[in-house]
């Protein structure tokens, strides 16, 4: 554990699949599922549409680090992380039949909250919403989250109720989150349609969907919310975007210019003074994790949203070293190095990105 308790290191992007979720996945044969592929006896986790193919890239090995909370603490200790805000990993409960959604979300959220209670002060969590259950069920679960001591927000994918996050039907849900002061941790899963990766996609492992599909999915989802005026309607809605906002910080100027030059938007009266620009939203409603693996990307995030809106993350247990065990993970160290390079080692700004920003925004009592 890091010794400087005054300036903690907080990991806001770190996942678990609680044991009950893993059991559910083992009973399934369509994505998401867990099974072995004989002759190998080892279990593999297959979650992404693009990875459900017959090749070595079919899913990934799934070990205790995916579901055993004591492994999370071990990982935190190895990497000097004081506090983790854990979240169910994708694809959450998106696939659960509508009639089972309410119960599934309650038991997962209770289970995750209980896991946090085993390590008081070290673990908090983003809850999962019963998206397939419909609006009323979702709002009811949001209201119930107040009773769960360690919940500090919700993790959400980009599909919403099936029509994306610019769906007006989602407004009551965003309002309930605003009212209950629960930020959304927006995380991709579905990527882009498989056709964009071409005929040789299987030769390239998971690189294209993870490196490009994920960030573009996030960028598109948030841009659609901005175009739909969600942030003018739910003005205090807070969103933490995974992977430093995908490509939103880099593309914000272009998106803004396309909006300003769009004759249709002008004719519809949507370019008035009351419009919140992409930059306004980035500085008022959006926070960005620092899971971008380079100084260049992180500086774009800092310039777009501000240094007090950027927060360290690891994406554990994804991106483990391909060989060897026990030592520090390169995927984590790269993000530490990027934060130091972008903000200066030992600076107040670095301390903010490493933990203080998360403590402030997510109200993590230390
Ligand atoms: N792959 C995933 O499916 N999810 C993550 O969060 C990271 C990698
Ligand atoms: Zn993640």
> Cβ distance 2 to 81 under 8 Å?
yes
41: preceding bond cis by omega (within 30 degrees): no
Task: State which of 47, 60, 65, 89 you would mutate to test the pocket of ligand 1, scoring each by most atoms of that ligand within 8 A of its C-beta.
Answer: 89
**Ligand 1: which residue has its CA nearest to atom 8?**
318
Q: pTM for the complete prediction?
A: 0.96
Q: What are the tens digits of pLDDT across the range 238-297?
A: 999 999 999 999 999 999 999 999 999 999 999 999 999 999 999 999 999 999 999 999
Q: Which of 151, 153, 146, 109 is nearest to 130 (CA)?
A: 109
Q: Is residue 302 part of a domain?
A: yes
Alpha-carbon distance of 59 to 146, in angstroms, equals: 35
* ipTM of the shown complex: 0.95
Q: Which two tokens stand for residue 11?
A: 């990991």
In a domain, 1, yes or no: no
Cα-flanking dihedrals φ and ψ of residue 353, to 5°? Answer: -65, -35
Domain harbouring 347, CATH code? 3.20.20.140
DSSP category for residue 213: I
pLDDT for 4: 47
Using CA atoms in the order 203, 205, 207, 210, what is the torsion angle rounded to 10 degrees?
A: 130
**Nearest to 130, CA basis, from 115, 146, 142:** 142
What Rg value do the Cα atoms of the chain yield, rounded? 20
With beta carbons less than 8 A apart as the criterion, state whether 169 and 135 touch.
yes
With a 6 Å cutoff on the Cβ, whether 47 touches ligand 1 is yes
CA distance 15 to 188: 13
Q: Which ligand is nearest to the Cα of residue 207, counting in written order? A: 1
- CB of 279 within 6 A of ligand 1: the answer is no
Burial class (CB in 10 A: 0-12, 13-18, 19+), 61: exposed
Ligand 1 mean position, distance from CA 346 (Å): 30
Mean of per-residue pLDDT scores for the chain: 95
Residue among 127, 47, 145, 45 at smallest CA distance from 86: 127
Task: Give the residue numbers spanning the domain of 137.
Answer: 10-362
- Sign of the Cα pseudo-torsion (38, 39, 40, 42, in order): positive
Six-digit token string for 166: 């610019």
Q: What percent of the chain has pLDDT over 70?
A: 97
Report the alpha-carbon distance of residue 38 to residue 41 in Å, rounded. Answer: 6
Q: Is residue 236 part of a domain?
A: yes
Residue 244, CA distances (Å) to 23, 185, 299, 306 in order: 32, 11, 10, 12
CA distance 339 to 345: 8
What does the alpha-carbon distance between residue 139 and residue 174 come to, in Å, rounded to a whole number? 9
Give yes or no for residue 43 having a pLDDT over 50. Answer: yes
Among 90, 126, 187, 246, say which to mutate for ligand 1: greatest number of ligand atoms within 8 Å of CB: 90
The pLDDT tens digits of the residues spanning 15-26 come to: 999 999 999 999
Does ligand 1 lie within 6 Å of residue 51's CB atom? Answer: no
Q: What is the pLDDT of residue 1?
A: 43
Has residue 5 been placed in a domain? Answer: no
Site to substitute for ligand 1 among 13, 16, 60, 210, most atoms within 8 A of C-beta: 210
pLDDT of 137 above 50: yes
Report the C-alpha gap between 15 and 189 in whole angstroms: 13
pLDDT at position 56: 65
Residue 366 is predicted with a pLDDT of: 53
pLDDT tens digits, 297-318: 999 999 999 999 999 999 999 9
Spatial contact of 111 and 20, defined as CB atoms under 8 Å apart: yes
Could you give the count of Cα atoms lying within 13 Å of 292 in the half-sphere of its Cβ?
A: 28
Q: Domain total for the chain?
A: 1
Q: Does the C-beta of 46 come closer than 6 Å to ligand 1? A: no
> Domain for residue 232, yes or no?
yes
129 domain residue, yes or no:
yes
Tokens (6 digits) for 180: 């209950």
Percent of the chain with pLDDT over 90: 91
Q: Pairing relation of β-strands 33-36 and 43-46?
A: antiparallel
Kindly tell me if the per-residue pLDDT of 3 is higher than 70.
no
Residue 227 falls inside a structural domain: yes
- What are 61's strand-pairing partners? 44
Confidence of residue 164 (pLDDT cuts 50, 70, 90): very high
* 124 found inside a domain: yes
């Amino acid at each position: 554990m890091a010794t400087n308790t005054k300036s903690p290191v907080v990991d806001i992007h770190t996942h678990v699949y609680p044991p009950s979720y893993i059991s559910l996945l083992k009973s399934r044969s369509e994505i998401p599922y867990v099974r072995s592929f004989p002759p190998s006896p080892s279990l593999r986790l297959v979650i992404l549409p693009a990875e459900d193919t017959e090749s070595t890239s079919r899913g990934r090995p799934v070990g205790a680090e995916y579901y055993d909370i004591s492994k999370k603490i071990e990982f935190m200790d190895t990497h000097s992380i004081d506090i983790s805000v854990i979240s169910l990993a994708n694809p959450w409960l998106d696939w659960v039949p509508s009639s089972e959604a309410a119960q599934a979300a309650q038991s997962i959220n209770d289970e995750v909250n209980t896991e946090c209670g085993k390590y008081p002060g070290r673990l908090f969590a983003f809850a999962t919403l019963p998206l397939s259950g419909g609006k009323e069920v979702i709002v009811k679960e949001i209201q119930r989250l107040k009773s769960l001591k360690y919940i500090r927000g919700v993790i959400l994918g980009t599909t919403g109720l099936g029509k994306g996050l610019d769906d007006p039907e989602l407004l009551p849900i965003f309002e309930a989150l605003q009212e209950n002061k629960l930020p959304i941790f927006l995380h991709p899963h579905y990527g882009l349609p498989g056709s964009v990766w071409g005929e040789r996609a299987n030769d390239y492992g998971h690189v294209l969907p993870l490196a490009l599909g994920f960030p573009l999915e996030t960028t598109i989802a948030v841009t659609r919310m901005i175009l739909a005026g969600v942030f003018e309607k739910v003005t205090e809605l807070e969103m933490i975007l995974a992977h430093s906002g995908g490509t939103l910080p880099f593309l914000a100027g272009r998106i803004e210019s396309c909006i300003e030059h769009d004759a249709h938007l002008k004719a519809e009266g949507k370019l008035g003074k009351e419009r919140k620009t992409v930059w306004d939203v980035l500085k008022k409603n959006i926070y960005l994790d620092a899971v971008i693996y380079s100084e260049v990307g992180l500086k774009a995030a800092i310039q777009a949203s501000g240094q007090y809106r950027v927060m360290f993350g690891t994406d554990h247990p994804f991106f483990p070293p391909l060989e060897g065990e026990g030592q520090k993970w390169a995927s984590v160290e790269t993000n530490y190095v990027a934060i130091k390079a972008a903000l200066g080692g030992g600076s107040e700004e670095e301390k903010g990105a490493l933990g203080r920003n998360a403590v402030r925004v997510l109200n993590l009592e230390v």
